[in-house]
Homo-oligomer: A and B are copies of this chain.
Amino acid sequence: MEIILSNLKIQVNEKIYVKDPETSALGKKIIEQSILLIDAIGFDNFTFKKLGKEIGSNESSIYRYFENKHKLLVYLSSWYWSWMEYKLVFTTTNISDKKEKLNKAITIVTEKITDDISTEHINEAILNKIIIAEFTKTLHTKEVDHENKEGFFLIYKRVINRIVSIVKEVNPEYPFAKSLVSTIVEGSLHQHFLTDHLKTITDCNETVTTTQFYLNLAENVLR
């Protein structure tokens, strides 16, 4: 998987950036270091000025790649879900047993990424931490309908709908396939968050994983 990934160019909607960060050294540095800085200080405290300082670049140069920090977060999220889609497709194709296919899919989207199978400049383990902590902020804005129309969340929705198809193969009668999958994908981020911060309202921890909870849930709901 690693070998293939290192050759993979992850596609992100052009409207999200001003200039494609994959096309220059500075662009890649912006992506690489923004992931580290957002993880370190949190998205709310993150500014382009601070990032500029970190990468020895001027604030104004960063603005040539992204209009604002919200768009940068949308970019990182899109990249993440695109990478997730790749893993999902790679893992589930040619699996004939439908239940096994679904279980693999659920495992892929719910497990915490702890190993760093790094594409050169992107640390997926840390990016996963950012998604757990900050992804919800890409959606919860007054501009969500407009940005949705522009296709900012297309990859995210496609990941969910790919799993919906698998659910329908397992049980074509179940009437809530979309809601089940969107609940699993969003909910697993939330369960990881609770494991890290509000342990009294989750059963998930190092030994009992979020993935086990959702595998069990899907099994019970679709049988």
Contact = CB atoms under 8 A, between A and B. Distances in A.
A179 B200 contact: no
Contacts of A19: none
Interface string A98-123: 00000000000000000000000000
B203 A179 contact: yes
Interface residues of A, number: 50
A128 interface: no
Instruction: Give the dominant DSSP class at A's interface.
Output: helix
Contact of A197 (B137, B145, B160, B194): B145
A148 B196 CA distance: 12
Contact of A142 (B44, B187, B191): B44
Nearest to A132: B140
Nearest to A191: B179
A204 B180 CA distance: 11
Interface of A: 41-42, 44-45, 133-134, 136-137, 139-142, 144-145, 148, 153, 157, 160-161, 164, 175-183, 186-187, 190-191, 193-194, 197-198, 200-204, 208, 210, 213, 216-217, 220-221, 223
12 contacts: A44-B141, A44-B142, A136-B136, A139-B193, A144-B197, A160-B201, A164-B201, A176-B208, A176-B216, A181-B201, A182-B190, A186-B187
